[in-house]
């Protein structure tokens, strides 16, 4: 899957949600997300500006590799994801392959879809709780 990502700061969530609703957008997710980012000791993945993440969203867990490309206006990525039945077991597999957790994040996300676009309101907690909610 190809992903094009643009982050918008300092949004009026209530106004945007109302507009999305008026346009026929559907709420598709409202929940907490736990994310673990992995890399080798040498930082091979990060040095290439790519991402390997293990993410749990309510009852769904997925492993994703993103090959990231940056432009002046957006971040695009070739994204490869697989569903995983057990976060802890997948974490142990990755560790046994020589990868380790380099960062973890927790956030609450509310998502809407409209045609081929997805709109995510993210609010971080924990170490990243200082970041204001963004779209």
Mean pLDDT by 10 residues, the chain (135 residues): 83 94 96 97 94 95 92 83 96 97 96 95 93 93
- The H-assigned helical ranges of the chain are 13-22, 44-47, 87-96
Supply the DSSP symbol for 131: S
Give the predicted TM-score (pTM) of the model. Answer: 0.86
């Amino acid at each position: 899957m190809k992903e094009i990502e643009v982050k918008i700061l300092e949004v009026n969530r209530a106004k945007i949600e109302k507009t999305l609703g008026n346009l026929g957008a559907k709420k598709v997710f409202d929940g907490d997300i736990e994310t673990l980012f992995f890399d080798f000791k040498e930082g091979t993945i990060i040095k290439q500006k790519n991402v390997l993440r293990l993410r749990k969203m309510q009852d769904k867990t997925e492993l994703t590799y993103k090959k990231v490309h940056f432009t002046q206006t957006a971040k695009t990525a070739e994204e490869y994801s697989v569903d995983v039945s057990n976060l802890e077991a997948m974490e142990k597999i990755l560790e046994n392959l020589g990868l380790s957790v380099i960062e973890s994040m927790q956030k609450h996300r509310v998502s809407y879809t409209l045609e081929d676009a997805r709109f995510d309101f993210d609010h971080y907690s924990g170490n990243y709780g200082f970041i204001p909610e963004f779209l």
